[in-house]
Amino acid sequence: MAGLYVHVPFCTQRCSYCDFYTQTDSRLRTDYLRALRRELAERAAELDHEPLDTIYFGGGTPSQLPIEMLRAIFRTIRAHYDVSSCREITLEANPDDLSADYLRQLHSQLPIRRISLGVQSFDDADLRRLRRRHDSQGAIRAVGRCLEAGFTDISIDLIYGLPDQTPEAWARNLDVAFRLGVSHLSAYHLTYEAGTPLHRQLLSGRVHAVSEDVSVLLYRLLIERAARAGWEHYEVSNFSLPGRFARHNSAYWTGARYIGVGPSAHSYDGRARSWNVASLPAYVAGILSGRPDREREVTDDDMRYNEYLMTRLRTMWGISLSHLRDTFGPRRLAHFLRHATPYIASGRLVRLHDPADTIRLTEEAFFVSDGIISSLFV
């Protein structure tokens, strides 16, 4: 089973923390749609008729697309891909885009059944600093409208470690999140990406980053509140009601094949990665001229081994030692066990026998997972 990612680059305005490729000129939507539908048709053969398990509309702001454009995209997908066993179709959305009428049409006219809502914070001062278009009450009302429209699979995104954020403020965010009636939460620590307005504010001293000690405390609060609510912590930054994890993102972490269409979208076929140019005009020109502006990198065994560790150890499923041996050979298994043993002794990694012979990070080690995992690389 494979995945399909559709990048929708349009935003009404740029958020102060975002470095994803986006485009604020909505007049380009018609050209984008023509190129996207052609790319979808031309690249279907890359999956060798493998059925789609998941479809994910990310951005940017996919909820900026009118219903008729989304219908046209789905007509193309159905014409060229096997969607008969597709189990999850997600649309990322901003709270202020989701009118009752838009949601009703999404649910009644399209196969989308999962909404990923970019909330980021339930604190209005934080939302203004992040240059979000909604306020906290608007986000809460948007969740309610999703539920009323019949969506029962709703995810929200939150950011923590915001400038001068206190544990008390973060706890208030979590209290709201866990009583909304959603089924999934993605919570990411703020990263000051070079070139963004928020990074420039940091450099000029207009905002102040939280300390590492505070960051650790905020993450512990997140883990504790999720556990208290009965949620599973299934990936470093992701939590869900039992069994309600995001299938599309989980496929990335387990090495499944996927095609990414649209400007800046990435793809993986099991051996090589490719990515489209991060420019809507260049993307459109390349696709419509028959010369896609796309780069490709073939991964070697060491790269695939390192990526396997990086993705799997970030999840509650961890590393299957038998799968590691069968996929990468006994030499790399021995390398892994040799370097993992000190972390097992210190309690940062744990070896489980149910499921059979699995090694995973403890929750306490999730916050420093990158350093631990990179030390296991070849």
pLDDT, mean of residues 163-168: 96
**Cis amide leading into 281 (omega within 30):** no
Residue 319's pLDDT is 94
* Percentage of residues of the chain with pLDDT beyond 90: 95
**Model pLDDT, residue 136:** 98
Output the CA–CA distances (angstroms, integers) from residue 248 to 13, 31, 91, 234, 245, in the order listed.
27, 27, 11, 14, 9
| pLDDT for res 255 | 83
pLDDT of amino acid 30: 97
Tally helices (H) and strands (E) across the chain: 15, 15
Handedness of CA 300, 303, 309, 315 (dihedral sign): negative
- Work out the pLDDT band at 354, boundaries 50, 70, 90: confident
In angstroms, the CA 167 to CA 173 distance is 10
Measure the CA–CA gap between 377 and 52, rounded to whole angstroms: 31
pLDDT of residue 254: 81
Residue 275: in which H helix or E strand, if any?
Answer: strand 272-276
- Counted residue by residue, the chain has a size of 378
Residue that the structure tokens 């990198």 belong to: 297
Output the pLDDT for position 175. 97
Q: What confidence score (pLDDT) does residue 318 get?
A: 94
| For helices 29-43 and 67-80, angle between their N-to-C axes, nearest 10 degrees | 10
Quote the pLDDT of residue 169. Answer: 98
Report the share of the chain in percent with pLDDT over 70: 100
Helix pair 301-312, 321-328: axis angle to 10 deg: 170
Mean pLDDT of the chain: 96
Contact 78, 37 (CB under 8 A): no
Over residues 5-29, the pLDDT tens digits come to 999 999 999 999 999 999 999 999 9
Q: Which burial class, exposed, middle or buried, applies to 96 when counting CB atoms under 10 A from its CB (0-12, 13-18, 19+)?
A: middle
Mean pLDDT for the stretch of residues 211-227:
97
CB 123, CB 158: distance < 8 Å: no
What are the tokens at 36?
């996207």
Residue of 54, 118, 123, 61 whose CA lies nearest to 88? 54
**Position 211 pLDDT exceeds 80:** yes
Domains annotated on the chain, with CATH: 2-253 (3.20.20.70), 301-374 (1.10.10)
pLDDT of residue 1: 86
The pLDDT assigned to 112 comes to 98
Cα dihedral 310→313→314→317 (10° resolution): 140
Q: In the chain, what is the greatest distance between 2 CA atoms, to the nearest angstrom?
A: 59
Q: What is the DSSP string of 228-273?
A: HTT-EEEETTEEESTT---HHHHHHHTT--EEEESTT-EEE-SSEE
Mean pLDDT of 45-68: 96
Q: How far is CA 305 from CA 300, 352, 375, in A?
A: 9, 21, 13
3-state secondary structure of 163: coil
Q: What is the mean pLDDT of residues 284-300?
A: 97
Written as one letter, the residue type at 260 is G
Mean pLDDT across the stretch 155-168? 97
pLDDT at 353: 83
Q: What is the pLDDT of residue 356?
A: 73
pLDDT band at 350 (very low <50, low <70, confident <90, very high): very high
| Nearest C-alpha neighbor of 97 from the set 141, 154, 161, 56 | 141
In the predicted structure, residue 103 carries a pLDDT above the cut 80 = yes
